[in-house]
Each structure stands twice: as structure tokens, then as C-alpha cells.
A = this chain, B = another copy of it.
Amino acid sequence: MKAESAIDEFRQLLGDQRVITGELELREWRDPFSFATWNEYTASAVIKPATVKEIQEVVRIAGRHGVPLWTHSQGRNNGYGGPAPRVQGSVIVSLRDMNRVLEINEECAYAVVEPGVRWFDLYETIRAGDHKLMLSIADIGWGSVIGNTLDNGITYMPYGQDQMMQCGMEVALANGEVLRTGMGAMPNNRSWHVYKRGLGPTPDQLFMQSNYGIVTKMGVWLLPYPEVFMPVWVRVWHDDDLAAVLDTLRRLMLEGTVRGVPQVLNTVLYTSMFTTRDQWWQGEGPIPDDRIEEMAREFDCGRWLLRCALYGDEPTVDHGFEKIKAAYGAIPGAEIWGTKCAPEDIPELENPHERVMGGVPSLDLNQMVAWYGGEEGGHIAFSPIAPLTGRDGFALRDLLRGMVEEAGLDYMASLLPVSARSFSHITMIIYDRTDEQQVTSAFEVCKTLVRKAAELGYGEYRAHLDFMDLAAEQYSWNDHAYMRFCETIKDAIDPHGILAPGKQGIWPRSMRQSR
């Protein structure tokens, strides 16, 4: 097998300790939420380079042997396949050990990190240096800052809007070359991590959700401590209040009152973050609507619960809160509350959602995976994008809830406005992963949803390994012109097709099926 001789060379380069091939050990790098005996997305080895030079050698070896690599930073891409590779037998390049925070610049409020740096790590480094800077983080603290960014992942502070926090990259290409983007393409340029473009085309977003390179360094913008941080909650009691919640949010975000990325959570998803399913429902099938209505009141979270936050000086935050109260006060029965807090006191906040919006990472929100009890929970995410309007909110809710419940599963929704104009409808399809039938249903319903949502004009922003191709196929305008463009670039910069073949539906020439 061609991988064998490559693995020998990887061992020579990295030593035995950093080349993992034992079957038991490799299980850690499978999709953690797949059914136990499913084998489709498994690696032949995991290798752990720790320097850029080692990464350059790794891709050269892979190129010579034609061995597919699948890179992750931390590999916490849960709900979309975790660390598992698209192509069976790929060699996983795990950058978990490449985890240095290279710089924190307090004056211009940015950090420079390596791929293995987790939210936890960067947060701790900022705190250890006593920098008055906040980090916009994802919900679960174990993820990689770079990894999340490269998958168009979402964070919640003002720089989370439109995924604005990345500035300047270093990238290793398939041929072993290393380039720097933006102003970093000039030696010793002072603006690599403060100006988002350069002279000539800006390739940064070309390395996101693609298989064009391995990002080895990245700049991350930080938020100077505001005087006040104020998490704000809005609770509504009718399922159809969703439209008004979204339309109001659009106006508040367009005018700049809400500058971060809110979440609009439905009863079942919010409840799952703190409790288990059997506390609420032990009957057959999905939790019925009248029971959800009771849960909304018993857990006091409403049918939809909006979380957002204000960042600023005290008069600005007070004024913003008054505007949010006035805007949402128009929804009958809506309740709006919030508590101001100094940035220093965010770690003491009880509700993990509030800590997340304040940039303090933990694993608390991972609790939802245990919805079916114990350690055996899993989830898959179906995440279409829509304009931030009530009409679009209804259209997606009705489609998704209908199909998910028809499959016998609970409709668990988090609507995330990633900009003032659009939201991602993150549908968390949670299941008991010891129940093969239920896991199968979850995967199948997602695949059906990919097509049905596309028919209505909604496309996924990110897709699980198992339906990446299907999701990409929906982006077929003008006979798949976009994908042909992606393939042309792929073939030009990775002619051996070694970097993450199949990622987001982009296959190298040698592995492409005729369309």
C-alpha cells in the first residue's frame, strides 16, 4: 500500500512518538458522533508535526507517495465529522501540538497564534499577561482558534459579525512552499495583522473551507476591555413570536445597537444545555408540542430565548438596553432582562451562555450532547443560511421541524445572525449514538433536508463529511461554474491532490467523477 512507505518516511521525519498507527489509538480520530461500527471515515495514521518546516516536509513526502492528508488544528469539528477525514485511509495531520501564542499586541489589540491554540489557551495567555483584551470565542472552549476560523465558524463578540476577526495568515502549500497573505507578503511589514488586504488579490478566504493549503499562523483581532459587559436576554412565549424576534433583531443590528452575534434558541435546545431528555419526556417519538409548551414554562425559558450582549461604556450600554427593551416590548408577553458586569467579573457569571458572550471559555455548553443521558449522546448539525427576516425564519422552522420530527427526532434550533442581514439556522439533531436506527435516521434526515432547503433557496454554510458532496452539489448555478473554478484552482496548486481531497466537495482531478 502506498501509505506504508510514506508512513515510514513520516516516522523518520517525526519519530515514532508523533506517528500514530495503532487501531485502538486511531479511534480518537474518528467522528465521535458516528455509530460505533461505521468505518467509512477513518484514517490510516495520525502524524503530529510541530513546526512549519516539518509541515513542509510532510506535504513533500505525501506528494511523492500520492498519499492523501487531512489536516486539523484541534479537530473539534463536532457535528460535522470531528477530526475524521473525508477519504478512508487518509493520513491525518494533527496540529494539536503546534500550539504557541506567538504574539499579543495590546496597542493594536490582536494576537498571532499557531493552529493548535485553543480558545482556552489564548484566553489563558491573555489573562496571564494581564492584557485588558477580550477574545471572541465559540461555544465550546476546546476548539482551535484557527480551526474554527477556517471552517467559517461563529463567535459572538462584535468581531464575530461577518466573521471579521481574522487578519493575516501564513500558509503551507501542497508543494511545500510557504506564503504569507496580505501585508505579510512583504518582509518585515508592520501591518500584517492590522490591515486585512495587501497589494493584489487577498487569498485569505480562499484558505477557509477549502483544501488549498495548511494554515500555520494567523492574526486574531481582540476587543479592548469595554467599561461594561451586559448579557441581555429576551424571552417570548409563542412559537410564532419567532418572526418578530428576527425582524426586530435585524433592525437592532442594522442600526448598530446589537454589535455582536446573538443566538435565538428554541425551548428544547436551551433545555438540553442544562438537563437531560428523560426529565421532560419518556414517551414515544419527538417531544409533542403541548409538552414543549409546558417545558417552556417549567424551565422558564419561553418558546424562543434570545441571548445577546452589549459592550461599551456605561451610558452606551444603558442606552442600548433601553432600545432593546423598547423594541422587544412590542411583542406581547415578551420579557427582557440583563445584568451589567465589569469585564473582570465575567468568569464568575453563572450562566455559561453569558460567559461565552464575555469571552470566557468552558465546556459547559457541551452538556446538550448528553440529551439522551450518559456519555453516549451525539449530534449532527444541519446549518442553512437565510436572510434575517421573520418570513425566512418561518420558512426554515416549518421545513426543519416538520422533517426532523417526522424522523422521530426532536427539533432543536439555534438561529444565529452572523451578520445584520443573515442568520444560520443551526439545527442540532441530537441522538443516542448506541441506537443505530436513530443515528441512521439523523443522518438520513439531514440529507433530505439538504435538497429540500435548496429547493426553497437556502444553502448550508458548512456540512458534515457524510453529505459534503451533496451539499456542494446544490451550489450548481450555471452548470456548477463555481465548483469548476474551485477545481481549476485545486488542480493548479495541488496537482497531486494530496491536501484534504473531498473537503467541501472539492476533489482533485485524479479523484473526480465526471459530472
- A interface residue numbers (CB < 8 A to B): 107-110, 152, 158, 162-164, 167, 173, 177-181, 183-191, 194-210, 212, 221, 223-224, 226, 250-251, 254-256, 259, 311-313, 315-316, 319, 323, 385-389, 392, 418-422, 454, 457-463, 471-472, 474-478, 481-486, 488-489, 491-493, 504-506
Q: A259 — nearest CB in chain B belongs to which residue?
A: B256
Q: Please determine whether B387 and A190 come into contact, CB atoms closer than 8 angstroms.
A: yes
A477 touching B201 by the CB < 8 A rule?
no
Complex Cα gap A209–B311 (Å) = 35
Q: Are B191 and A459 in contact (CB under 8 A)?
A: yes
Q: Are A185 and B475 in contact (CB under 8 A)?
A: yes
| A163 CB → nearest B CB, Å | 7
A184 with B477: in contact, given A199-B504, A201-B206, A387-B108 (CB under 8 Å)?
Answer: yes
Partner of A185, one of B178, B199, B223, B477: B477
- 12 CB-based A-B contacts, threshold 8 Å: A179-B477, A179-B482, A181-B482, A184-B477, A185-B483, A194-B419, A195-B418, A197-B209, A199-B462, A200-B472, A204-B205, A489-B492
Are A461 and B195 interface neighbours, CB within 8 A?
Answer: yes
Of all chain B residues, the one with the shortest Cβ separation from A188 is B457
Given A200-B210, A205-B202, A478-B177: A458 touches B189 (CB 8 Å cut-off): yes
B203 touches A206 (CB 8 A): yes
> A421 touches which one: B109, B203, B210, B463 (CB < 8 A)?
B109
State the copy count for this chain. Answer: 2
Q: How far is the CA of A386 from the CA of B385 in the complex (A)?
A: 36
Residues of B with C-beta under 8 A to A109? 254, 420-421
Pick the contact of A209: B201, B256, B385, B485 (CB < 8 A): B201
By CB atoms of chain B within 10 A, which of A197, A254, A483 has the most? A197
Shortest Cβ distance from A190 into B: residue: B457
Q: From the candidates B212, B224, B459, name the one contacting A183 in the complex (CB within 8 A).
A: B459
Given A421-B110, A481-B178, A199–B250 Cβ distance below 8 Å?
A: no
Residue of B419, B462, B483, B488 touching A195 (CB-CB under 8 A): B419
